[in-house]
Amino acid sequence: MPFHATTGALRRLLLVTGLLLLPAALAAACGGDGAGPEGDGETASTIRVVTTVSPIRSIIENVGGDRVSVTAIVPEGTNSHTFEPAPSVAQDIARADLLVANGLNLELPALELAEANRRDGVEIVLLGEATVTPDEYVYDFSFPRDGGDPNPHLWTDPILAGEYAAHVRDALSRLDPENAAYYASNTAAFSARIEALDAAIRAAVATVPEGQRVLLTYHDSFPYFAPRYGFTIIGAIQPSDFSEPSPREVAELITQIRAAGAPAIFGSEVFPSEVLDTIADEAGAVQVATLRDDDLPGDRGDPENTYLAMMVENVRTIVTSLGGDASALDGFDVSYSWIPFEEHAGG
């Protein structure tokens, strides 16, 4: 959830910093012999993509395969609401061939920085706006309608993540039409994995007693996921200003949990909160604080450092905590699904 709560002063600081760095960054982008920066497998023909959070980075890598080098400017394991980009972000943007953001007002300061530093003709793709229409927006406790910003967490719904991949495919194909078939093959492989994940999730959720298919999370991260799989969201602990809830809000949440008979409430890897323990104890529920929405398991380069692994881990946690059996997810292939370019071309 990068930069959503960033102040106007910080936005202006980021924008000014980016503008000051622009000449040097453009020189770096245009100078030398055209070879890409040092990195795993990057060459002069590699497409440089800059995005924000790691789940979107993983989706882009599934589509672009070894034809792309993706930089996610929000480090994993970071509280992305309070994250302040380093000055080098302006350089990354100025070197980029494609900029991909979630959109839906999630990354406004980052988009300002992108507008100030991107090279002429470089496209900015807003995945959220391309995937859902305004009448499909979700507003909730953390993202109330009167705040004007819809809940942007579309990617926690695997089906919508598959649509994100299709939009990335189209953008890469516009940029690199000669290799459009490669991006299409990679997207088809990822889509097949998404369909298998969707089926596995449905099988796992079916084992949760119907009366226990309720979610109360620290942050409203699953508003598109929940209706897809038959969960009812009974609330969120974190208010829209990203503070801790007031005593009155805590009391109301405890009442909701008791009324719903929720056996567990869910915290976040990135948002530790002592109030979760209090709410769980008073409501007679178990507090599980390991859900992720923009932090992938493992470290960059690990086989499980993927969007698919994050979702498998999340669903396993939710299902088992609510009294179900998550064995339908056992053995699910969470690795990257893309086809090596040489193998694709040779085939």
Q: Tell me: the pLDDT tens digits for 318-337?
A: 999 999 999 999 999 999 99
Burial 116-154 (b: 16+ CB within 10 A, else e): bbbeeebebbbbbeebbeeeebbbbbbbeeeeebbbbbb
Q: Out of 2.60.260.20, 3.40.50.1980, 3.40.1280.10, 3.30.70.3270, select the CATH number for domain 8-199.
A: 3.40.50.1980
The answer to whether residue 68 scores a pLDDT higher than 90 is: yes
Q: What is the CA radius of gyration of the chain?
A: 21
Please report, for the chain, the start and end positions of each structural domain, with discontinuous segments joined by +.
8-199, 207-329
Calculate the alpha carbon distances from 284 to 258, 260, 323 in Å: 8, 12, 15
What is the CATH code for 207-329? 3.40.50.1980
Predicted pLDDT at 109: 80
**201, two tokens:** 């999730």
User: Average of pLDDT values for 257-267?
Assistant: 91
Calculate the alpha carbon distances from 261 to 210, 236, 248, 258 in Å: 11, 16, 20, 5
User: Average of pLDDT values for 273-296?
Assistant: 88
Mapped onto helix, strand or coil, the DSSP state of residue 168 is helix
**DSSP label at 98?**
E
Predicted pLDDT at 41: 59
Question: Are 242 and 261 a contacting pair, CB within 8 Å?
Answer: no
At 243, the pLDDT band (50, 70, 90 cuts) reads confident
User: pLDDT above 90 covers what percent of the chain?
Assistant: 58
The answer to whether residue 30 scores a pLDDT higher than 60 is: no
Predicted pLDDT at 13: 40
At 40, the pLDDT band (50, 70, 90 cuts) reads low
In tens, the pLDDT along 146-174 reads: 988 999 999 999 999 999 999 999 999 99
At 264, which helix (H) or strand (E)?
A: strand 264-268
At 333, which helix (H) or strand (E)?
A: none
Predicted pLDDT at 345: 74
The answer to whether residue 142 scores a pLDDT higher than 90 is: no
DSSP 130-166: HH--GGG----SSS-GGGT-----GGGSHHHHHHHHH
Predicted pLDDT at 289: 84
Sheet holding 123-126, edge to edge: 68-72, 47-51, 98-101, 123-126
The answer to whether residue 27 scores a pLDDT higher than 70 is: no
104 backbone dihedrals φ, ψ, rounded to 5°: 55, 40
The answer to whether residue 18 scores a pLDDT higher than 70 is: no
User: Average of pLDDT values for 182-192?
Assistant: 98
Indicate the residue type of 190. Answer: F
User: pLDDT above 70 covers what percent of the chain?
Assistant: 83
Predicted pLDDT at 135: 95
> Identical fold at 8-199 and 207-329?
yes
User: Average of pLDDT values for 25-50?
Assistant: 55
**145, two tokens:** 């309608």
Predicted pLDDT at 96: 97
DSSP 103-116: -TTSSHHHHHHHHH
Question: Are 273 and 225 a contacting pair, CB within 8 Å?
Answer: no
Among the listed ranges 21-30, 109-118, 254-263, 284-293, which one has the minimum average pLDDT value? 21-30
State the average pLDDT for the chain: 85
Predicted pLDDT at 59: 98
The answer to whether residue 127 scores a pLDDT higher than 90 is: yes
